[in-house]
Structure 1
Amino acid sequence: MVLLRFSILVVLAVAGVFCGDEKEFRIRTNRIWEQEELKEDQKEFSGRWQDLETTPYDNIVHFDGEKHLANVKQLTFGGMNAEGYFSFDNSKLTLQATGYGTDCDQIYELDLNIDPKLQTLRRISTGLGGTTCSYFYKEADNNHRLYAGNWWNVKIDDKTDVSKTCPQKKCANPQGDELKQLCNTSYTWDIFPDYDIFKVDRFGNFVQRLTDSPGYDAEGVVSPDGTKIAFTSIRSGDLELYVMNTDGTNLVQVTNELGYDGGSFFTPDGKRLIFRASRPKTDAEIAKYKKLLSYDLVEPIAMELFIVDIDGKNMRQITHLGEANWAPYMLNDNKRIVFSSNYDTAANGFGAFSLYMINDDGTGLEQITFGKNQFNSFAMQSYDGKKLVWGSSRNGTMYELNLFIADWIDNPDATTNPVVTTPVVTSTPKGQETTTNSYSSHSLPSVATSTPKGQESE
């Protein structure tokens, strides 16, 4: 009820600013201004909504300097929405979000061919416990997804309020002097030990438990050819990367170095993993990392980007920027990487992050998103190379993180914009699902001071 009242107050406050100009209010909330001939009850525009052109919305959702982005559109409006990842046919988006009747992240889905204002986020997860890191299987009918969560371990009865079954964050109420001291830092992530990875169908029905080892298993992604899953696990005693078949068989450990290896994605050719990692070096750093891990915590304030073959060979560090560099995704040219970093804004607080692009050899660093004291992260390029989706605090309150989609301008200085593509599964979009679940993200940095939750998802 408090959340509902807060949401109403925010809407009323924004509407009050533009009460004399409905069109201005619609632009501010990034709604596409409908043509006069469209009927109010019309449920779908002709063509794909994600391809509709919009006005620039300068300094609202699109900022000066963002030359690689065009036709920026907002996908969610309020709450904390993150880790939006395309289906292989680019028609849908799976995401994690909180603020829709639950106190922690659940998994939802959007149809990118329908105006978001004509849809309700369709929940895929159970609504029990917490979840993170969802991803589509590569199928012509988009029938299956994976995500991590602890719903299987939640004890409920007929008196249980399922919206209150979230896993408890250690630093929200630290017990004992040692934990209180460890929590006295700018940010920590909880590595929930009962998180496992599950396969579900399009309606959220359980299909298969893919991991079943003690400790954290999460951050799963599917390879471009649809045959493998990469994920992070603590089964060895440290947070390392693993690869397995999409049915959970043929497990291979990829990394084996002290530090949190996570947020991995396959490169477009499927041969390597791009990921972010912490690498404690000094005795004090190592001791603190191990002590935090004993409490199922990590401190993600010093991370760099790495790349490694899926068999564990040829690991090398890409960035040497300092601060927190994370949420990497390799573009379809199999060379450039889009990622999130606060290396140039850390003095303004941990939560100010921008998107950057860099070559896989560490050269060619370029800033992609702009806007003062904003949070931008979780970027993914569509499989046809035409779109970029990411999470941002732009056009919202300091307690919100929303998803945005834009046309990707690969070469903004050229007169034409050739797009590098990779083979994708093609299928006819089925439109908005008629079956819905009732309302039921990896962690995001806290958004106070315009800083949103940021454990990826990866």
Structure 2
Amino acid sequence: MLTALLLIALGAPPAVTDEAAEAKYLDNLRQVTSGLPRAGEGYFSPNGEWIVYQAYPIGYPFYQIYVQKLDEKTPRLLSTGRGRTTCAYFSPDGTKILFASSHTDPQIDITELKAREEAAKGGRRRYLWDFDPHMDIYISNFDGTGMKRLTDSPEYDAEGSFSSDGKQIAFTSSRDGDPDLYIMDADGSNVRQLTNQPGYDGGPFFSPDNKWVIFRSDRQKEHMLQLFAISVDGKTEVQLTDNLDQVNWCPYFHPSGKYLVWAGADYSRGPANAPFHLFTMELKWTSDSVKRGAVTQITHSTAQDVLPVFSPDGKSLMWTSTRGADGTSQLWIADWLREKKGN
């Protein structure tokens, strides 16, 4: 469904960046990951000292999940090393890690062989979202032990994240025929459906007060993702972006709850040469709803800048970018100047 739009090309020309424009919001930019062909979708541990992310191992055709200390360069494999994996996330106490994996695919040998054959054909590789029906959500201890399966539906279950109190997990599942949002207890019990619309609803994250969930959806037009918020009881839903010439996805709350960050690209002339930039949106909360406020563009580059997340203290911003010299997708981090300035 989303394979036509999540394009992060490898081997692209060197990025051109307006550093002066970015310096208003970002300082001390540095690359966090290296040594693996591609890495991205990183999230902070609750103490801000570690990150968990997905990356391609050398010689293997699917992403695996890695943990890495932020001030070091040595990743540690967390997932099983087989199958597709995605969407890792720390528990609020930092002792466990949530992720999705298809390693129980009964035909995994064939799946891997086909992927290797495709890779051997050469050509430019791209980041493609795959709704693997064998994908389920797992949780493991920080050291990778004690892995437990939380979902066991015959369709895609992934994109999970914890509430701030650690009691609930929001996730995406296609168990009812197309991808919708669900919430379950942290042990995998008490599953309930949150959205039920045609098309894709995904990428859910709880608001800091756990009363709302933000997500992306292409329910208006296939592939043209827009941002939404829904109350955790499912009674109130608010559309935050409404521009079908622009793809808007991967929204993430600042810990203050006053604004969110996301990635957007102008697709009015198609996806070719349409870089994703990072934006922030002010949020105006009322007792029972939320309204969109001012929007600010944060990154200004011909690179693809996607999947932004704030550190737990709100003072750093990390995202996936192709702005490095080799043009591969890697994790980058910067000091977030808005909080430094006390805005």
Q: For this structure pair, what is the TM-score category when the shorter chain's length is used for normalisation?
A: 0.7 to 0.9
Larger radius of gyration: 1
**Structure 1 CA distance for aligned equivalents of residues 44 and 25 of structure 2:** 19
Contact 1:109 1:123 in 2 (8 A): yes
Deviates more, 1:309-318 or 1:330-339: 330-339
Deviations 1:287-346 (A, max 9, x none): xxxxxxxxxxxx63x110000011212111100122311010111231311111112785
Is residue 2:233 matched to residue 1:311?
yes
The match for 2:275 is: 352
The match for 2:67 is: 109
User: CA separation of 1:62/1:90 partners in 2, compared to 1, >3 Å: closer, same or farther?
Assistant: farther
Map 1:39-438 to 2 at 5 A: 63-66=19-22, 67-77=24-34, 79-112=37-70, 114-116=71-73, 120-139=74-93, 142-154=94-106, 166=112, 189-280=129-220, 300=223, 302-322=224-244, 323-343=246-266, 349=272, 352-360=275-283, 361-372=291-302, 374-398=303-327, 400-410=328-338, 417-418=341-342
Structure with more of its chain in helix, by fraction: 1
**Structure 2 CA distance for aligned equivalents of residues 64 and 199 of structure 1:** 42
**Structure 2 CA distance for aligned equivalents of residues 351 and 108 of structure 1:** 29
**Structure 2 CA distance for aligned equivalents of residues 243 and 312 of structure 1:** 10
Q: How many percent identity over aligned positions?
A: 38
Deviations 1:83-130 (A, max 9, x none): 100111111100001143321100001101x332xxx21110111111
**Structure 1 CA distance for aligned equivalents of residues 154 and 267 of structure 2:** 38
Q: What is the Cα deviation at residue 362 of structure 1?
A: 2.8
Match of 1:410, SS state, is: helix
Equivalenced residue count is 313
User: CA separation of 1:221/1:338 partners in 2, compared to 1, >3 Å: closer, same or farther?
Assistant: same
User: CA separation of 1:315/1:80 partners in 2, compared to 1, >3 Å: closer, same or farther?
Assistant: same
Match of 1:151, SS state, is: coil
Q: What is the Cα deviation at residue 207 of structure 1?
A: 2.7
User: CA separation of 1:199/1:61 partners in 2, compared to 1, >3 Å: closer, same or farther?
Assistant: farther
5+ residue gaps, structure 1: 1-9, 11-58, 174-185, 282-298, 420-458
Contact 1:211 1:248 in 2 (8 A): yes
**Structure 2 CA distance for aligned equivalents of residues 126 and 167 of structure 1:** 17
Q: What is the Cα deviation at residue 206 of structure 1?
A: 4.0
**Structure 1 CA distance for aligned equivalents of residues 323 and 49 of structure 2:** 24
Structure with more of its chain in strand, by fraction: 2
User: CA separation of 1:337/1:344 partners in 2, compared to 1, >3 Å: closer, same or farther?
Assistant: farther
**Structure 2 CA distance for aligned equivalents of residues 264 and 368 of structure 1:** 22
Q: What is the Cα deviation at residue 155 of structure 1?
A: 5.3
**Structure 2 CA distance for aligned equivalents of residues 328 and 167 of structure 1:** 35
Deviations 1:230-264 (A, max 9, x none): 00001111211001111111112110111100011
**Structure 2 CA distance for aligned equivalents of residues 167 and 132 of structure 1:** 20
Which residue type is aligned with residue 376 of structure 1?
Answer: D
**Structure 2 CA distance for aligned equivalents of residues 100 and 224 of structure 1:** 35
Match of 1:385, SS state, is: coil
Deviations 1:203-227 (A, max 9, x none): 3234311001110000001111111
Which residue type is aligned with residue 249 of structure 1?
Answer: S
Which residue type is aligned with residue 335 of structure 1?
Answer: K
Match of 1:390, SS state, is: strand
Match of 1:395, SS state, is: coil
Which residue type is aligned with residue 403 of structure 1?
Answer: L
The match for 2:123 is: none
Q: What is the Cα deviation at residue 397 of structure 1?
A: 2.6
The match for 1:422 is: none
User: CA separation of 1:96/1:345 partners in 2, compared to 1, >3 Å: closer, same or farther?
Assistant: farther
Match of 2:42, SS state, is: strand
Which residue type is aligned with residue 359 of structure 1?
Answer: E
